[in-house]
Amino acid sequence: MTEPPPLSHLDAEGNARMVDVSAKPVTRREAIARARVIFPEGVLARILDEGVPKGSVTGVARIAGIAAAKRTAELIPLTHLLPLSEVRVDFRVGDPSTLEVTCGARAEARTGVEMEALVGAAVAALTVYDMCKAMARGIRVTEIALLEKTGGSGGPWRAGA
């Protein structure tokens, strides 16, 4: 059994630190993350058909997810501030009660954009929750996960591959 690699955000004494990426080459980095919003039976269809009093659920959630991805370094203390070249947030009905939120992020940088994609998906899903909570109790945000990443020395990675 091999030892797992050391945690990169801890120094030799175990203190938290921001990783020095200055020696890494700038490469195109991309990541896609997903969050799921699960609604009580029949509620998602009603929301998609009739909308909610606060406005377009997906429209507002898309803007929230993009804005959150752009501010990841302010939210997650040891992440690097990255020059994002693209953030996209999309929605898909996974089954009659599940709205899947995906966030993709891209940058030409020395470190990956996984956290930006994860934060974007999570905040977009939380915004859906906020906009819909008055219509139904029991809405759940679940399964916030990285789906894939490319770029960097680690090469491409895909969940389940």
Would you say the C-alpha torsion 64, 84, 145, 49 has a positive or negative sign?
positive
Q: b or e along 50-74 (b: 16 or more beta carbons within 10 Å of the residue's beta carbon)?
A: eebeeeebbebbbebbbebbbebbe
DSSP codes joined into one string, 112-148:
--HHHHHHHHHHHHHHHHHHHTTT-S--EEEEEEEEE
C-alpha 65/C-alpha 61 separation (Å) is 6
Q: Quick count: other Cβ atoms within 10 Å of Cβ 104?
A: 21
Question: Is 90 assigned a catalytic role?
Answer: no
C-alpha 60/C-alpha 131 separation (Å) is 9
Catalytic residue among 11, 20, 90, 130: 130
| Residues belonging to the active site | 130
